[in-house]
Amino acid sequence: MRPQDIIPKKVAQVALLAAAFLAACSAGEPAREDAESAEYRKRAAMSLFVDGMIFEAKNDHENAVAAIEKALQNDRSAGMYYALAKNYYYLGKLRDALERAKLAAAMDPDEISHLLLLAEIYEAGGRDDSAIVSLKRALRLDSTRHDAAFRLAQLYEDERPTVALELYESLNDSLGADWNLLLRQANLQERLGRDAEAIETLEALLEMDPSNVAVRKLIVEFHLRNDDVASALEEADDLTRAFPNDVEASERKIDILMHLDEWARAVEETGRLLGLPGADFDVKLRAADYLFENAMGDSARLAAAGETLRALEADTASWETKMYRGSAALALGEPDSAKARFHEAVQLAPWRQDGWTRLGNLYFERGEFDSAASLMSRAVERFPESFVMNAILGLSYLQLGETLNAIPPLEKATELDPSSADLFGALASAYEDAGEYERCDSAYDRALAADPTNELVNNNYAYSLAQRGERLEDALAMANVAVEANPTSASFLDTKAWVLYRMGRYDEAERLLAQAAEYNPLGAVVFDHWGDALYRLGERDKALAKWERALELDPDNLQLREKLDRGTL
């Protein structure tokens, strides 16, 4: 309630009151008036006060204040201070308003309107505690002042919600069901965790306005918060029947159906949502995405989600639908279909990075390194600061054996993400292939700094050092880390054996190589190294047999063939 609601401001009423006051004052007056008499001052004050009230009625509060201030020079009364306080308040002069309102309340402490105005000024100035005191005084004077009780409840909502709720409930009992009171009551019940009570209150609101969609939606939400999903679905069903074109209601119903694992009904409702006239593309896409997300891991559900996506794709040829259909195809084990969709997404939205990266990653995972490198070289031109694109490009070149081409994008990728041990390891391998051993070791060191226990980096670094015959003790320590992490890896066992071989510990190397051959009987390098170890141990015939087996597994290895032809290392 505003201050201007406390005292009426109709000019006619003001004039009538003033006329009555003047008539009472003039009765029995002497013919000659003394200009200094009390009666004269009162008449002058009343005339100015009436002027002030007329100005106030016209919303001319500046002149209202001026007139009432002059009136106070002749007659100081609680009513005048109250009127002056109101007009100062309308002007936003809270300090002046408060000073006059206090005087009015002090002069006439039993006048409730003075206390209500004082409370409002306190509240406007952020002094809620003082406002509460004034309102409580007003209610002690008259407990039936519902306006005071309502304002008090509002002030209690933040700090004393339970008391506020009791006040609203009492007001509802006294006044009967009131929309505003019930809504505030429901909000407080929610805050206090009384969801069941909140539902009852909202249902009372719904009885007052059965067509109120917002209240129906709130009831659904409260049922969900109260873990009564069945009731939430029942209410959502009623809501979508009553308001079949309400998009938000349909979305919420889908969510509830998913929660209850009623997949078929969720698919049906999603299909209905896609056809609603008020459903924009973002809503449709969100619904399809939600369906797809909940279908992951279930081929039958993914197929159903795919049908929904196809329906959406028929409605619009957006890049988003292509992306979702590509993802669905991947999940269903249809990489060719996924590739086609991702291609379309890139063509429709070349400014979107995700289409490029999904397609590039798909090429890489399928071993189509030429296609991956070609695509990512174009993507990196468009998005030079993309970590993923640079990484895929560099790794694709590395797989193709194009070491010099691999180095720049791998350097960029490690610059963009210095925490990627695997990429530093790949960069180190590229440097090694290029014969840049100092940069190779530096990259390996960066990789181990990022992840000291990375088994692949430890293994590859150890093997690189062993091949060069450098820092063999360090190489052995790294090889041990890798083997301890994966003791059945033939590659890791081979690396450790090769380090031991380079250290001259042939017996230990031979035993490890025999183990490695058991884990990987098709490893040409393992048999080659095994033959070398046996030869160093004086087992020439056995060594020749291992070399022959290695050549069978790798017939294009010229070094092996030459070694066999020589019959010696």
pLDDT confidence band for 370 (50 / 70 / 90): very high
User: Which phi and psi angles does 489 have, rounded to 5°?
Assistant: -80, 120
pTM score > 0.85 for this model? no
Asked whether 235 and 217 are in contact (CB, 8 A), the reply is no
Structure tokens at 522: 């098709």
pLDDT for 23 equals 37
Q: Which two tokens stand for residue 480?
A: 């041990």
- If you average pLDDT over residues 534-539, what whole number do you get? 96
Q: Return d(Cα 191, Cα 222) in angstroms, integer.
A: 11
Judge contact between 74 and 45, C-beta under 8 A. Answer: yes
Residue 209 has pLDDT above 90, yes or no: no
The answer to whether the beta carbons of residues 182 and 212 sit under 8 Å apart is: no
Please tell me what DSSP assigns to residue 402.
-
In whole numbers, what is the pLDDT of the chain averaged over residues? 86
- Give 77's pLDDT tier (boundaries 50, 70, 90): confident
CA distance 501 to 493: 12
Please check whether residue 311 is in contact with residue 273, taking contact to mean a CB–CB distance below 8 angstroms. Answer: no
Nearest 5°: phi and psi at 123? -65, -40
Say if residue 397's pLDDT is above 90.
Answer: yes
Instruction: Locate 362 and state its tokens.
Output: 């798909």
Write out the H or E segment, with its range, that includes residue 405.
helix 403-416
Distances (CA, A) of 360 to 165, 322, 353, 382, 447: 60, 15, 11, 14, 25
Q: Out of 165-169, 439-443, 507-511, pick the least confident.
A: 165-169
Residue 361: what residue type?
Answer: N
pLDDT bracket for residue 314 (50, 70, 90): low
Alpha-carbon distance of 563 to 490, in angstroms, equals 23
Q: What average pLDDT does range 148-174 have in this prediction?
A: 85
- How far lies 254's CA from each of 233, 265, 267, 291, 301, in Å? 9, 8, 8, 9, 15
pLDDT tens per residue, range 459-480: 999 999 999 999 999 999 999 9
| CATH, domain 1-27+36-156, list 1.20.210.10, 3.30.479.30, 1.25.40.10, 3.30.360.10 | 1.25.40.10
Residue 9 has pLDDT above 70, yes or no: no
Least-confidence region, from 174-183, 321-330, 337-346, 518-527: 174-183
pLDDT in tens, 247-256: 989 988 998 9
More confident residue, 320 or 381: 381
Strand ranges (DSSP E) for 218-287? none
Q: Regarding predicted confidence, which is higher, 477 or 182?
A: 477
Q: Which residues contact 258 (CB under 8 A, 6 or more apart)?
A: 266, 290, 294
Determine the Cα–Cα distance for residues 62 and 109; give it in Å rounded to an integer: 27
Nearest Cα neighbor of 113 from 99, 134, 92 is: 134
User: What is the reported pLDDT for 3?
Assistant: 38
Q: Which residue has the higher pLDDT, 58 or 173?
A: 58
**Residue written as token pair 């196809």:** 310
User: 160-243 is classed in which CATH architecture?
Assistant: Alpha Horseshoe (1.25)
Amino acid 189: pLDDT:
76
- Phi/psi region, residue 92 (left: phi>0; alpha: psi -120 to 50; beta: rest), is left
Residue with tokens 């002046």: 96
Residue 7 has pLDDT above 60, yes or no: no
Domain boundaries, the chain: 1-27+36-156, 160-243, 478-569
Sequence letter at residue 80: M
Output the pLDDT for position 30. 43
Cα–Cα distance, 132 to 524 (Å, whole number): 89
pLDDT at residue 181, rounded to an integer: 75
- Out of 1.25.40.10, 3.30.470.30, 1.10.4160.10, 3.20.20.70, select the CATH number for domain 478-569: 1.25.40.10
pLDDT, tens digit, 9 for 90 and up, residues 79-129: 889 999 999 999 999 999 999 999 999 999 989 999 999 999 998 999 989
Distance CA 535, CA 569 (A): 8
For residue 22, give both structure tokens.
């003047």
Crossing angle (nearest 10°) for helices 179-191 and 146-156: 30
Reported as a pLDDT band with limits 50, 70 and 90, residue 180 is confident
Q: Is 429 in contact with 441 (CB distance < 8 Å)?
A: no
Q: Quick one: pLDDT at residue 34?
A: 52
Q: What are the helix and strand counts (H, E) for the chain?
A: 32, 0
**Residue 425 to residues 400, 448, 536, Cα–Cα distance (Å):** 17, 9, 32
Q: Are 252 and 259 a contacting pair, CB within 8 Å?
A: no
Average pLDDT over residues 226-246: 88
Which pLDDT value is given to residue 21?
A: 38
Q: What is the mean pLDDT of residues 40-44?
A: 82
* Band of residue 29 on the pLDDT scale cut at 50, 70, 90: very low
Q: Quick one: average pLDDT of 259-282? A: 86
Q: Which residue has the tokens 């936003």?
A: 92
pLDDT confidence of 217, banded at 50, 70, 90? Answer: confident
DSSP string for residues in 492-544: HHHHHHHHHHHTT-HHHHHHHHHHHHHH-TT-HHHHHHHHHHHHHTT-HHHHH
As given in the structure block, the two tokens for residue 159 are 């700090």
Helix, strand, coil shares, percent, the chain, to 5: 80, 0, 20
| Burial of 356: CB neighbours in 10 Å, binned 0-12, 13-18, 19+ | buried
**Residues 51/67, Cβ–Cβ less than 8 Å:** yes
* DSSP secondary structure, 145-206, as one string: -HHHHHHHHHHHTTT-HHHHHHHHHHHHHHH---HHHHHHHHHHHHHTT-HHHHHHHHHHHH
Decide if 160-243 and 478-569 have a common fold.
yes
The two tokens of residue 439 are 């940069």
- Provide the token pair at 317: 């040829």
Quote the percentage of the chain above a pLDDT of 90: 51
**139-153, 157-171, 186-200, 505-519: segment of lowest average pLDDT:** 186-200
More confident residue, 332 or 217: 217
Distance CA(44)–CA(48), nearest Å, equals: 6
Supply the pLDDT for residue 225.
77
Residues 17-26: tens digit of each pLDDT: 343 333 334 4
Q: Which of helix, strand or coil describes residue 568? A: coil
CA pair distance 182, 172, nearest whole angstrom: 7
Pick from 262-266, 405-409, 481-485, 527-531: least confident: 262-266
CA gap 75, 87 in Å, rounded = 18
Is the CB of residue 255 less than 8 Å from the CB of residue 228?
Answer: no
